Amino acid sequence: MANKTRKNNNVKNVSELGSLYDDEYYRTGCGIPYERNEHWIQFFGSIADEIIRSLRPQKVLDAGCAWAFLVESLWDRGVESWGIDISPYAISKIRPDMENYCKVSSLTDPIEDRYDLITCIEVLEHMPEKQARDAIKNLTSASNTILFSSTPKDFDEPTHCNVKPTIYWLKLFAEYNFSPDLTYDASFLTKHAILFKKASSPPSEETLILFSEKIRHAIEVEEKTNNLETLNKKLRQQEGEWNTKITNKNQELINKSEEIEEHKARVVKRDTIISELEIKLHKINNDVHSLQLALLQKTNQLNAVYSSTSWKITAALRQIRKVLKWLKSFILWGKFISLNIEASKQIQEINDIECFELKTGLKNMPAGWVIIKYKARRKKDIPRLVIYSLIEGKLIRQPSVPLEINKDQTFQRILRLSENSNQLFIEIINSLDPIPITDIYYREIGKFEALFRLSWKKIKPSITNPRNCVRLVLQGVKIFRKYGLTGVKRSLLGEQNTDFHEDHYYNWIERNEKLSESDIINIHKRIDAMSHKPIISVLMPVYNTPINFLKAAINSVSNQLYPHWELCIADDASTDPDIRNILNEFQSKDSRIKVIFRKNNGHISAASNSALELAKGDFIALLDHDDELAIHALYLIAEKINQNPDADLIYTDEDKINPEGKRYAPYFKTNFNSDLILSQNMINHLGVYRRKIIDKIGGFRSGFEGSQDYDLVLRVLEQIEINNIHHLPYILYHWRAIPGSVALNKDEKSYPHERAQKAIKEHLSRQGIKAEVEESPSGVYHRVRYALPNELPKVTLVIPTRDKLSLLRVCVDGLLNNTDYSNLEIIIVNNQSIDPDTINYFREIQKNSKVRVLDYEKPFNYSAINNYAVKHATGSLIGLINNDIEVIQPSWLKEMVSHALRPQVGVVGAMLYYPNNTIQHAGVALGIGGVAGHLHLNKLRGDYSDFGRTELIQNYSAVTGACMIMRTEIYNEVKGLDSENLSVAFNDIDICIRIRECGYSIVWTPYAEMLHHESASRGSDQTSDKIARFTREVKYMQEKWNDKLEKDPYYNPNFSLKDGYYSIGNRPRIIKPWLN
């Protein structure tokens, strides 16, 4: 005990002693947290019942009453009771109706009244020895009966400074003629509890010794009884474990016996199949012989034709025909052919898409490059078409790019239709009319016209700026060198899947963003009712801003519905004299507008710091001098602060606004995305920061101009918790796009890009993370390349398969021969293969020391197969690989492992393409199609639209199990895939959600690229039993993860859940707080 620190030893007075018993003490110092709960209410209730039964007091004092549970229990049972305690915190927690009966007081103070009974339960061991003696003097003067307890053994509690044996307390009470009641059993309180009663003379020392021995014996008996119970419980537990092990071993023996019998049956079945195949082979050999004879006969006939005079004479005509055919592919002067629209309910039922079939009236469907032209029924209506081809029973979206809109409201789209399309369908978006278009036509065009139209669309916006034209040409040359002509075509088709068409977005704004008069009234009511009205300081550095844009920016702040703001403007020595006049005018009209005129131009970081010096608010918002805020922007910020008082960083969605004031190109962001922020400044506009954090990091840094806000964000992130970052999914910031602006063209200025990379590098360095930073493939964004350890960890790649040797061989060969990662092992799980060639391949491939083949003889269950294989894995990392994956990039595994080794990362997913070089997997969003869906599906490889999301490392809620890497310890931590409920579908989604629930992140990287021949190794999913299974799995996911499926943090609620094309939903899945 001498070595322990006692909080009580250093106190100077009673008030200091009382302050020790605070919230922390009651949470941690009583074994079980001392709070108003069922445990303590029942505990003190049972004590009150026994006191009343055995002692029948009329008036009781609980000395050291704490939260007065005993006092209230006695009152509730009809006994007058009072309480005193030294802790002001404890007295503040008593039940309100007990406030008149309890007070803060020390037991060293005289007790004024008399009581039938005083209880003093586990109190005096907390008091220094002299104070404890004074307390006993006061207690014995206020009652003739005292129910007392003080632990004789607990030396571990930090506030126990006076732990004494029972005989010590017996002798102290004997000094005041108080004897222990030898007939009273106080063990209902504790084994060392004593009932003292006032006597005419002190008890004999022999009596005290005998009684203390009785107490000591009772404590020892209790301890030994507890030890015996603990030992018995442990023995019972061990017995249960051994019984379970014996049962499991017996079951394993039964299973092994069943497996042996199944294997015998398979051998018999295989022999039968081999015999049948030998018969078929003999027949095939005969057929081949017959075909060879026929081929020889046809060859002789062809040779006779080629050697004939007529063939030689017509050679020149054939060459001319070939040239004409080649020219036709480039220059096709066809006429527009009318199309008829017919509703297709059948397709709607199969694909859950409300679409219409286009009938050509011709025998063959159009293919290749096509222009589709149509008119809107109403003048102001701007319907948008999504075009599908029916291929093998599925609607496949066809890439298309909108062309100009003619004055007569004629719309045109250019697209390339698949060669194997059976039927053509359209989905009509952005219109209330069932069929809002008329006069729909198509015209087949050649490659030359298609290339010209796409190039012109790309070049036309920059034609007035020679510098932009040069940049576009250089960018095209760069793409051509890296990807060839195919890459140029993909770049030109970069707008193919975007739903952010300007006119569609304009209608969305009209439908969802316009504030009505009642909206504004409700917002003002919400502001008036706010418990906290923070002042938001808006910083605006200014330099030679066009006057009309400067006024618009300032007015967008002045017109805010939320009035508690200040606009801090720093003019960075503008050379335009009108700037000073405008700023002084605004400042004179509104005291909330503060202006400082810098003497020297210091660039944007210095100017921003000057504006920051003017700011007095708790929160800082950043506004560029030519941009605009939505009228309710600061109100929603304040609303979020009230909902989340600990918020340190709040950011919103944004769009662009052209010089004429037309809004376009909205950026609907994810919730905070710790990997995406290192690829692009996803916070950007509007960003709002807690002032004290900005002050702590020293404001904006010089040397990062152009990316000073990006550098600021990264340094702020180092100071705050992720839980204190909040995203508002509303378009509250309008970024002005004018010539010379980065908003108009990311290539307009190169220095921000370089300084952004510098900011990222320094951020990683400060975090102690070894990594390199380089530009993304488009040259617009950034890539972080994390360092691998010198000794690469072992990776076990698991491949379930059943026959399908042609797919499996390509997969395994790519892993062994086209992957630049040496320390790997491959486990092929053979799920009842019967093809002799596949069986032979298994024997041969196992001669490679990196490959093992495990037999799994049960019915196909993807989850169970992988769980079975992982138990046999020797790698510290696990890779789940489908047998229809094809390696196309040697560094894929190094890239995925570099992320999987990061401590906070749970799973890593890859970029997967279909064999036609369109995207099959680039991340998964929850909620799409009812459970989850792939994003960017069918987008062309190399298409970096949608704000570059297909070229950026980022976090998602899930990635596909067709190719995922994780640490083995994490796979085991979540107990692998769910083989009981998700045998085939959604098991990858489920494990990703469970891993995220454990606090890990899911990372997707576009720099691990592979081909995926999706589900080629399995049969059709349209059989009745498979449909039933799939329906069960959908229901299970929806019931288990309902909340998660409805609110994916990495898929903006303004997007539609109908597909994964980042389509804007007609109605956002957000609640407007002023309507709540």
305 in any annotated domain: no
Enter the pTM of the model. Answer: 0.61
List the single range of 18-22, 541-545, 785-789, 987-991 with lowest mean pLDDT: 18-22
Q: How many domains, in total, are found in the chain? A: 4
Most confident range, picked from 198-202, 372-376, 398-402: 198-202
Cα–Cα distance measured from residue 1049 to residue 1062, given in angstroms and rounded to the nearest whole number: 14
Q: Which residue bears the tokens 């474990």? A: 241
The pLDDT of residue 747 is above 60: no
Q: Residue 240: what pLDDT?
A: 84
DSSP E strands in 398-518: the ranges are: 400-402, 410-417, 423-429, 437-444
764 CB contacts (<8 Å, ≥6 apart)?
678, 770, 771, 773, 784
According to the per-residue pLDDT averaged within each range, which of 13-17, 484-488, 595-599, 945-949 is highest?
Answer: 595-599
Cα–Cα distance for residue pair 509/502, rounded to 1 Å: 11
CB 150, CB 122: distance < 8 Å: yes
Question: Is the domain of 35 the same as that of 76?
Answer: yes
Q: What is the mean pLDDT of residues 517-537?
A: 95
Whole-Å CA distances, 853 to 123, 827, 830, 846, 962: 70, 6, 7, 7, 19
Please state which of the ranges 220-234, 832-846, 965-979 shows the lowest mean pLDDT: 220-234
Closest CA to 427 of 352, 375, 507: 352
Instruction: State the Cα–Cα distance between residues 171 and 179, nearest whole angstrom.
Output: 9
- Quick one: pLDDT at residue 498? 40
Residues 916, 1007 contacting (CB under 8 angstroms): no
Least confident among 179-188, 274-283, 347-356, 794-803: 347-356
Instruction: Tell whether the model's pLDDT for residue 740 goes beyond 60.
Output: no
Q: How far apart are the C-alpha atoms of 674 and 723, rounded to whole Å?
A: 12
Q: Can you say how many angstroms the Cα of residue 414 is from the centroid of all Cα atoms in its chain?
A: 37
Residue 15: pLDDT band (50, 70, 90) is low
Helix/strand/coil for 185:
coil
Spatial strand order in the sheet of 340-343:
340-343, 356-359, 423-429, 384-391, 394-397
Match 């922020």 to its residue by tokens.
Answer: 677
Residue 902 lies in a domain: yes
What pLDDT, on the 0 to 100 scale, is given for residue 496? Answer: 41
Let me know whether 55 and 172 are in one domain.
yes
**Structural domain harbouring 609:** 535-745
243 to 430, 583, 662, 743: CA distances (angstroms): 66, 85, 75, 70
The secondary structure of 581-621 as a DSSP string is: HHHHHHHHH-TTEEEEE-SS--HHHHHHHHHHHH--SSEEE
Tell me: do 623 and 707 sit in the same domain: yes
Q: Where are the alpha helices (DSSP H) in 493-591?
A: 502-512, 517-529, 547-558, 577-589
Q: Is the pLDDT of residue 357 over 80?
A: no
Do 945 and 857 share a structural domain? Answer: yes
Whole-number Cα distances in Å, 387 to 38, 299, 425, 938: 64, 46, 6, 13
Specify if 779 maps to a domain. Answer: no
673 falls within a domain: yes
Residue pair 40/73 in contact by the 8 Å Cβ criterion: no
Residue 501 per-residue DSSP state: -
The average pLDDT across 668-673 equals 95
> Is 1051 within a domain?
no
Q: How confident is residue 696, by pLDDT bands cut at 50, 70 and 90?
A: very high
What angle, 0 to 180 degrees and rounded to 10, lies between the N-to-C axes of helices 205-306 and 836-845?
120
Contacts of 58 (CB under 8 A, 6+ apart): 79, 80, 116
- Given a cut of 70, whether residue 1076 has pLDDT beyond it is yes
Which residue has tokens 């909108």? 402
Q: Average pLDDT of 1070-1075?
A: 90
Per-residue pLDDT at 4: 34
Whether omega before 686 lies within 30 degrees of 0, making that bond cis, reads yes
Token readout for 951 is 């070229």
Q: What string of H, E and C letters represents the secondary structure of 19-51?
A: HCCCHHHHHHCCCCCCCCCHHHHHHHHHHHHHH
Q: Are residues 135 and 46 in the same domain?
A: yes
Residue 298 structure tokens:
């046809």
Report the alpha-carbon angle 574-613-556, nearest 5: 60
Q: How far, in Å, CA of 348 to CA of 341, rounded?
A: 15
For residue 536, give the H/E element and its range: strand 536-542
**909, 1033 contact by CB (below 8 A):** no
* Calpha distance 182→149 (Å, rounded): 15
d(C-alpha 465, C-alpha 718), whole Å: 41
pLDDT of residue 561: 96
284, pLDDT greater than 50: yes
pLDDT band at 723 (very low <50, low <70, confident <90, very high): very high
Q: Regarding predicted confidence, which is higher, 245 or 900?
A: 900
408 lies in some domain: yes
Of 840, 838, 806, the residue nearest 1016 (C-alpha)? 806
- Same domain as 983, residue 847: yes
Where a domain ends, among 488, 505, 522?
505
Closest CA to 628 of 549, 538, 745: 549
Question: What value does the mean pLDDT take over residues 667-681?
Answer: 95
Which CATH number do you get for residue 678? 3.90.550.10
User: What's the whole-number mean pLDDT along residues 203-223?
Assistant: 86
Check whether residue 501 and residue 541 sit in a common domain.
Answer: no
Do the domain assignments include residue 353? Answer: yes
Selected residue with higher pLDDT from 495 and 672:
672
Ranked by mean pLDDT, which of 154-158, 340-344, 480-484, 945-949 comes out on top?
A: 945-949
Residues 667 and 731 in one domain: yes
Residue 460 DSSP class: G
Same domain, 1028 and 879: yes
Q: What is the pLDDT of residues 813-826, one digit of tens each?
A: 999 999 999 999 99
pLDDT above 80: residue 476: no
Last residue of a domain, one of 174, 203, 232: 203
Q: Per-residue pLDDT for 800 more than 60?
A: yes
DSSP per-residue string spanning 772-835: EEEE-TTSSSEEEEEPPPSSPPPEEEEEEESS-HHHHHHHHHHHHHS----SEEEEEEE-S---
pLDDT tens per residue across span 16-49: 677 788 888 888 877 788 888 888 999 999 999 9
Whether the per-residue pLDDT at 474 is higher than 70: the answer is no
Range of 212-221, 390-399, 617-626 with top mean pLDDT: 617-626
Task: Return the structure tokens found at 784.
Answer: 């972080």
Closest of 1001, 995, 985, 969 to residue 1037, by C-alpha = 985
Per-residue pLDDT tens over the stretch 591-631: 999 999 999 999 999 999 999 999 999 999 999 999 999 99
How confident is the model over 324-351, as a mean pLDDT? 55
582 and 485 in a single domain? The answer is no
Domain containing 199 — which CATH number?
3.40.50.150
Give the C-alpha separation, 592 to 607, whole Å. Answer: 19
> What are 860-878's pLDDT values in tens digits?
999 999 999 999 999 999 9
Residue 1016 has pLDDT above 50, yes or no: no
* pLDDT band of 180, cuts 50, 70, 90: very high
The reported pLDDT for the residue numbered 110 is: 92
Q: Has residue 1056 been placed in a domain? A: no
Are 645 and 706 in the same domain? yes
Question: Is the confidence at residue 1005, as pLDDT, over 80?
Answer: yes
Query: What is the rounded average pLDDT for all residues in the chain?
Result: 85
DSSP annotation string for 645-700: TT--EEEEEEEEE-TTS-EEEEE-PPSP-TTGGGTS-SS-SSEEEEHHHHHHHTS-
pLDDT at 345 over 50: no
Tell me, what's the pLDDT at 849? 94
Q: What is the pLDDT of residue 1022?
A: 54
For residues 780 and 330, the model is more confident at 780
pLDDT at 266: 79
Closest CA relative to residue 707, chosen from 664, 732, 727, 677: 677
User: Which DSSP letter does residue 421 get?
Assistant: -
Above 60 in pLDDT, residue 1061? Answer: yes
Do 495 and 558 lie in a common domain?
Answer: no
CA-closest candidate to residue 934, choices 961, 959, 963: 959
